Amino acid sequence: MENDNDEYTKELNVAVRVVHMACSLCQKVQKQLLFPNNSNQIKSKDDDSLVTVADWGVQATVSWMLSEAFGGQNISIVAEEDVQTLSKPESSSQLGMVVNAVNECLAEAPKFGLKGPNDALGASQVLEAINRCDSTGGPVGRHWVLDPVDGTLGFVRGDQYAIALAMIDDGEVAIGVLGCPNYPVKDDSLIKYSQQCPFMSEMSSREEGCVMYTKKGSGKAWMQPLIHGDKRLEWQNSARTIHVSSIDDPALATFCEPVEKNNSNHSFAAGIANTVGLRKKPLRVYSMVKYAAIARGEAEIYMKFARSGYKEKIWDHAAGVLLVQEAGGVVSDAGGTPLDFSRGIYLEGLDRGIVACSGFKLHEKIIGAVYASWESSNL
Look at strands 301-304 and 255-257 and give their pairing: parallel
Q: List, in order, residues 6 or more apart from 71 with CB less than 8 Å away.
A: none
Tell which phi-psi region holds residue 145, choosing left (phi > 0), alpha (psi between -120 and 50) or beta: beta
Spatial separation of the C-alpha atoms in residues 229 and 10, rounded to whole Å: 26
Is 48 among the annotated ligand-binding positions? no
Is 150 among the annotated ligand-binding positions? yes
Q: List, in order, residues 6 or more apart from 4 with CB less than 8 Å away.
A: 10, 13
Task: Give the dihedral sign, CA 117/118/123/124.
Answer: negative
Spatial separation of the C-alpha atoms in residues 364 and 362, rounded to whole Å: 6
Is 80 among the annotated ligand-binding positions? yes
Strand order from edge to edge, sheet including 77-79: 77-79, 142-150, 162-169, 172-180, 210-215, 221-225, 240-242
Q: List, in order, residues 6 or more apart from 286 with CB less than 8 Å away.
A: 151, 153, 154, 155, 159, 160, 161, 258, 259
Catalytic residues: 55, 152
At 363, the amino acid letter reads H
DSSP, res 74: G
DSSP for 187-242, written as a single string: TTHHHHHHHH-SSGGGS-TTS--EEEEEETT---EEEEE---TT----TTTS-EEE
Look at strands 255-257 and 240-242 and give their pairing: unpaired
144, containing H or E segment: strand 142-150
Query: Partners of 168 in the beta sheet?
Result: 143, 173
Spatial separation of the C-alpha atoms in residues 136 and 193, rounded to whole Å: 37
Query: Partners of 304 in the beta sheet?
Result: 354
Bind-site residues for Mg(2+):
80, 147, 150, 316
